[in-house]
Amino acid sequence: MKKLALDRLHRRNGSDYPPPFDEPVRLRSRCALGDAAALTAFGVNILDLPAGAWSSQRHWHSKEDEFVWVLEGEVVLVTDEGEEMFRAGDCVGFMAGEPNGHHFQNRSDRPARLLEVGSRDAADVTEYPDIDMRWSGPAPAHKDGTPYALAEGN
């Protein structure tokens, strides 16, 4: 075991969402702490959201629990119930199979940092209630199952 040096770990910017769904998350940056620690049962990420960035498209998971803790800044949680402000120290959990789409938006003029923890289940399907996308397997597809790369002629 070694102490993880956050400043030396790989950061992934943006997402694998197809256009135009990638636009609101283009500036986000994620560091996979769970991968760096070789964890297999659950994932842990540090998510940095500059002003104006979203954490993801609004989504929910069929088989994966999620837990998010705001470490720095402030973000707005958007769910089926509405919107709620979260500040440093606030946290929330999302149960697997609960069809309540959620995501965070940084509407402030300062960066925000979140800690994300989630289970890892290869059978998970991620549903996106606001857009024509479902994620099951290695790549996103339309809700009818047609892969984006094939549907768009890429």
In the three-class reduction of DSSP (H, G, I as helix; E, B as strand; rest coil), residue 52 is classed as coil
* Structure confidence by residue, pLDDT tens digits, 63-97: 999 999 999 999 999 999 999 999 999 999 999 99
| CATH class (in words) of the domain with range 6-123 | mainly beta
* pLDDT single digits (tens) 120-145: 999 999 999 999 999 998 889 999 99
Q: Which two tokens stand for residue 79?
A: 């769910």
What pLDDT was estimated at residue 37?
Answer: 93
3-state class percentages of the chain: helix first, strand second, coil last, to nearest 5: 10, 40, 50
Write out the two tokens for 13: 């910017």
Position 152 pLDDT exceeds 50: no
Residue 54, C-beta contacts closer than 8 angstroms, at least 6 positions apart = 24, 25, 28, 103, 104, 105, 106
Model pLDDT, residue 2: 81
Could you tell me the residue ranges of all domains in the chain? 6-123
Residue 154 in this model has a pLDDT that exceeds 70: no
What's the pTM value of the predicted model, to 2 decimals? 0.92
